Amino acid sequence: MTSTNDKPTVLIVGAGLGGLMLGALLEKSGVPYKIFERATVVKPLGSAMSIGPTLLPIFQQLGIYDDIVAVAKYMTHTETFKENLEPFKPQDYRPIEEYTGYGHYIISRPLYYDIMLKQVPAHKIHFGHRVLNISEEEGKVTVHLSSNETFEGDIVVGADGAYSAVRQRMYEQLKANGELPKSDQEDLPFSCTCLVGQTNPLDPEKFPSVKGSTSQFRVFLNETKSLTTVTFTTAQNTLCFMVLHHLSKATSKAALEQRFRNNDNAEWGASPAQAMCEETQDVQIDLGSGKKHTLGELYDVTPKELISKVMLEEKVFKTWHHRRFVLMGDACHKLNPTGGHGAVTAMHDAIALANLIYAMPTTTQEDITTIFEEYHKERLPAVTESFNNSHLLSKMNDKNLTGAVVLFMATRMPLWMWRLALAKLVRYRPQVGFLPAVPLQGSVIPFVSPSEQKARAVFEEKQKRAASV
């Protein structure tokens, strides 16, 4: 019989940004958990990420706000350039401080990951452990690992990316019962690939853009090669980059793999990152030095092992949970990075899940199903909005009416409309309900988070009982 008093044991598959955030929150809540990551060590791949008022209050609650800001670089504007490097009007993000009391920062993803990794005790993360199977019986779930070890818990969380093993196991059960929607059985589509990397620390004399006190965030549109390049400077004098190649039509991983099997010259070869570097090395960019630079100059000062090419899938799955299985982040919603919301939505998933798990009265199947339904109901609207915005922004380079409209709105939006857009962007600022609340700041009141309210009620009741003892 499942206990109605003990806290649930949570098994998290995946030690990415979302999985680590969930682990860090459960650590604070006292809920037992384990994290399993198939990689033996997480390589410092990727470039940088933007963090702002939708996450900074959480970092205050976790006690790592100062650590984050110390290695981040303040950002005030984004600049967009045409293919001939003629600039559009810069976009000013400073009103966000008026709305929320917080600014916007650019932080190296590897540095951010290292800070989050320190929030989880080392013995609770099992690196180099691939999940082979997940079984469920007698009110428990058991994770079977490639090391022949097994771990039993009450909930298993799939935080293991776009090709989630947890989702695969969960969907197998649903499909066998005829309960899996047709759209969830389809391959993940994508319409662009992306080269990401981060240079070594640069010489400020040769690359003066790294000198400034604020991050230079620049977007370069290249219609000729169907490319969008994004560069941003960090507090470590490095320059991060993303080079997005917009495909002529949506495809899927399975389709590319089939092409590779049938054609030795398929674009997804043995060295995709190097090939894309060679294809794009002559693309011109402006780094604010008074002279033109090329992407090749950035590649030359970037460690080759830290440049990677990835597919940018886009999909919001309908099914996020089943019995004691639940998905979060890329495992249930994969967003185009153009909007910069992918990591944020994964961490917001973690916040909602942690709040609801903390407030769960029992570990019965009924209560688990209830919190999973509440999690999906709360997160789906925000995720859908982020998905739609990211997808729309990715069309900025399209050579059609849609692309022209998106480009116009992104670069020539009237100030009053831009301020409204920013105000809308910062409405969702959840907090952790089982940690002391951070006082609200700014003129824009955030949306009410039901999961936060639920956890806050339980937290305050526990405090009252403790005070009366």
Residues 31, 155 contacting (CB under 8 angstroms): no
Helix (H) or strand (E) segment spanning residue 275: helix 272-280
d(CA 44, CA 270): 21
Residues of the chain with CATH 3.50.50.60: 10-44+63-70+108-186+315-468
H-state helical runs in 134-181:
165-176
Sequence-separated (6 or more) residues with CB below 8 Å from residue 159: 12, 13, 14, 15, 16, 18, 19, 22, 327, 328, 329, 331, 346, 350
d(CA 144, CA 163): 18
Give me the pLDDT at residue 25, please. Answer: 98
d(CA 166, CA 130): 11
Strands (E), 155-203: 155-158, 189-198
Give me the pLDDT at residue 311, please. Answer: 79
Q: Strand 91-92 to strand 77-81: parallel, antiparallel, or no bridges (unpaired)?
A: antiparallel
Distances (CA, A) of 39 to 16, 196, 327, 349: 11, 19, 19, 23
Helix (H) or strand (E) segment spanning residue 448: none
Q: Strand 48-51 to strand 227-233: parallel, antiparallel, or no bridges (unpaired)?
A: unpaired
Which portions of the chain are predicted below pLDDT 50?
1-5, 258-270
Can you name the CATH fold of 10-44+63-70+108-186+315-468?
FAD/NAD(P)-binding domain (3.50.50)
H-state helical runs in 360-449:
365-393, 401-412, 415-425
Facing residues of 239 across strands? 233
Give me the pLDDT at residue 288, please. Answer: 78
